[in-house]
Amino acid sequence: MGTALLRRLADEPGVDRVVGVSRRMPPDQPPYEAAEWVTCDIGDDGAVQELTTAFTGADAVVHLAWQIQPSQQPKVLHRTNVVGSHHVAEAVLRAGVPALVVASSVGVYSPGPKDRTVDESHPRRGIAGSLYSQQKAAVEDLLDEVEFTHPSLRVVRMRPGLIFQYEAGGQIARYFLGPLAPVGLLRRRRVPVLPLPRSMRFQCVLAGDLADAFTRAIRSEARGAFNVATDPVLDPPTMAGLLGGRAVPVPTALLTWAAGATWVTRLQPTDPGWIWMATQVPLMDTTRARTELDWQPRFDSLTAMNDLLEGMAAGAGTSSPALRPRALVRDRLGRGHLPGHGTHY
């Protein structure tokens, strides 16, 4: 998302300075060379002072930092996602920045319908059993407190569906499938059977379109939450069609058991919480983003999904540490990098 936002801001009139904060320094190459970079691990005890210095003089801070892996180490994720978000908010207040735009998620919502959409007022207690979802809910609770105690601060919560782009193909395969997955099958779109629950209906958005929504939130006076996603809703038959196969309905419990067994044995990095979240989060109404931010996606969900599948098949990436191209299986396993464990992500 950060890469896409840098590209979008490069075309935005009136943006004369961008400061990037990253745990791992990106290379001096497009689009990263357009920003001034500060190296900081937002979970560190001393991060607030470093961030305050970096934020001073800014018109807005966009908080995108989030750690999905290593999934086998929840304390590591909490340190970045919850503690780190607290440090970002504290630094924004100390630096006197007037606006904080935060990347939340559809995962913040409590279980909801799959046959109709809900707006931003839907309960947001997250999905039980999903660490990602529960931590997103915890961060929004933090934002509630910040807004209550500092009403002059403009806080925006962007709640996108799944975020896809070609350049994230290698990263997403690494984070969610691991080094043992036969992603080469995606190149020929010959995945004969896709076993998924019927309730696995979800929304997505292309990273470039989401970056446009973020930019509009930065440049406006908008406050509050915005659902961001595009149509049509992706369901098992649609995804199977994109993969050249057919959908085979399976019980959620069976898929959860399979994910849990392979996750515990370190065969793949995705814990069962992602299955629970995908089958329980509601479908989102995006009217508020389209009206108050005047946002319109350029690409539909089928284009976004195709973009991702092509990127995964190619092991695509960029020169940044987070989006590095997919490594060979023998390289990953040869260095002892088991799926879901360790900080190599």
Q: Specify if 28 maps to a domain.
A: yes
Domain extent, residue 70, equals 2-333
pLDDT of res. 183:
84
Q: Specify if 197 maps to a domain.
A: yes
Rounded to 10°, the helix 131-149/84-95 angle is: 20
Q: Specify if 340 maps to a domain.
A: no
Q: Specify if 203 maps to a domain.
A: yes
Contacts of 45 by beta carbon, 8 Å cutoff, 6+ apart: none
pLDDT of res. 338:
63
- How large is the C-alpha radius of gyration of the chain? 19
pLDDT of res. 331:
46
List helix spans (H) across the chain. 2-10, 47-55, 74-78, 84-95, 131-149, 169-176, 207-219, 236-242, 252-264, 273-280, 287-292, 301-314, 329-334
Q: Specify if 127 maps to a domain.
A: yes
CA 62, CA 6: separation in Å to the nearest integer? 11
pLDDT of res. 329:
47
**Which residue ranges of the chain lie beneath pLDDT 70?**
327-345
CATH no. for residue 273? Answer: 3.40.50.720
Q: Specify if 239 maps to a domain.
A: yes
83 close to 43: Cβ distance less than 8 angstroms: yes
Q: Summarize pLDDT for 231-265 with one digit per residue, the tens.
A: 999 999 999 999 989 999 999 999 999 999 999 99
pLDDT of res. 186:
84
Q: Going by DSSP bridges, is the β-strand pair 193-196/154-160 parallel, antiparallel, or unpaired?
A: unpaired
In single-letter form, the type of residue at position 345 comes to Y
pTM: 0.94
Tokens linked to 303: 């284009």
Q: Summarize pLDDT for 178-237 with one digit per residue, the tens.
A: 888 888 778 888 888 999 999 999 999 999 999 999 999 999 999 999 999 999 999 999
CA angle 54, 58, 61 (to 5 degrees): 80
Rounded to 10°, the helix 273-280/131-149 angle is: 70
Report how many domains make up the chain. 1
- Residue 36 has a CB neighbour count (10 Å cut-off) of 10
- Residue 161 has a CB neighbour count (10 Å cut-off) of 25
pLDDT of res. 311:
95
- H or E segment to which residue 162 belongs: strand 162-164
CA 158, CA 154: separation in Å to the nearest integer? 13
Q: Specify if 88 maps to a domain.
A: yes
Q: Specify if 341 maps to a domain.
A: no
